[in-house]
Amino acid sequence: MEPLYGLAKVLFRRPLRHGLRWAVEGVDGIPTEGPVLLASNHISYFDPLTICYVADLAGRRARFLAKAELFESWWFGPMMREVRSIPVERGTGDTSSLDAAGAALAAGELVVVFPEGTISPDLEPMAGKTGTARLARAAGVPVLPLGLWGSHRVITAGHKAPHKAARRPGVAISGVIGEPVVVGPEDNPRESTDRIMAAICASVRRARQIYPQVPRGEADEWWARRPETARLRSCRGRVAQQLIDEAADMAQPPAGA
């Protein structure tokens, strides 16, 4: 283990464990050894620490794919390199990050990806990028979906966390590990991406259901979402999205039922 990662683990484990209120399901679905490809929704700058906590519950150390811009920061760059995060050159067609992630999986590591590529501005799961499906297909490793909720109340993009929520000890964070998604060698990356994101959406819905705290003292309702609003947004275009929305609407119970 790298010295900085070990130091961070010592410094942050106790505050994370005792300074927040946790509700986590499905940790036993994370293998205790061997390759793991963990794919999560992204709602907060705090998500990496949240995922490190969840991985630590399973006795694993998380290694992240992260946008290359973070490695250029005078503050984040050395830290990202020290913990052996993998830089992703977005929008360039560069596949070296997938090669590096594949090598990490082949070495039996737990690799974390955010298929959406960035923090969701409305907190709902966005359409996924195909890189996660292509990585899973090339590595022959199932994708474990992780749904997070509550970390946005600590610190997120574009919204200042409510004073009481951000500073009060015991802010709740929930996380749910779902059933693995298998991507076969002949599977279409876009269809597989939708399956991965559908599984993440299901985990997000469950994470909202088990969220153990009713936010109080927040100025507006932006911070809250109903479980059922975590619905798949297809990466396959407008027609596919329309079919998905129609299927979801048909699955809703009748009003008053």
Give the model confidence (pLDDT) of 72-107 as tens digits. 654 555 565 556 677 676 655 667 788 889 999 999
| Closest to 205 in 3D by CA, of 227, 225, 179 | 227
Least confident stretch, 79-93, 190-204, 209-223: 79-93
| Closest to 171 in 3D by CA, of 58, 15, 8 | 15
Q: Residue type at 100? A: A
Cβ–Cβ < 8 Å for 146, 41: yes
Where in the chain are the domains? 3-251
DSSP 161: P
Average pLDDT, the chain: 83
Is 257 exposed, middle or buried, given 0-12, 13-18 or 19+ CB atoms closer than 10 A? exposed
| More confident call, 225 vs 86 | 225
Confidence class for position 11, pLDDT limits 50, 70, 90: very low
The pLDDT value given to residue 255: 54
∠ CA 101-175-114 to the nearest 5 degrees? 30
Alpha-carbon separation of residue 98 from 56, 66, 113, 194 (angstroms): 24, 12, 11, 19
Beta pairing class for 143-149 and 171-177: antiparallel
Long-range contacts of range 185-188, CB-CB < 8 Å, 24 or more positions apart? Answer: 185/137, 185/140, 187/133, 187/137
The pLDDT value given to residue 240: 74
244 CA to centre of own chain = 22
Is 190 exposed, middle or buried, given 0-12, 13-18 or 19+ CB atoms closer than 10 A? middle
Least confident stretch, 85-99, 129-143, 233-247: 85-99
Cβ–Cβ < 8 Å for 82, 4: yes
CA distance 3 to 91: 33
Q: How far apart are the first and last CA of the chain?
A: 54
CA distance 117 to 128: 8
SS3 75: coil
∠ CA 5-11-13 to the nearest 5 degrees? 90
Confidence class for position 241, pLDDT limits 50, 70, 90: confident
Cβ–Cβ < 8 Å for 152, 220: no
| More confident call, 25 vs 16 | 25
Give the model confidence (pLDDT) of 20-73 as tens digits. 889 999 999 999 999 999 999 999 988 988 998 999 999 999 988 876 666 565
| Closest to 198 in 3D by CA, of 39, 58, 16 | 39
CA distance 4 to 85: 12
Which architecture does CATH list for 3-251?
3-Layer(aba) Sandwich (3.40)
Query: pLDDT above 70 covers what percent of the chain?
Result: 74
The pLDDT value given to residue 100: 87
pTM of the model: 0.86
Least confident stretch, 20-24, 92-96, 144-148, 238-242: 92-96
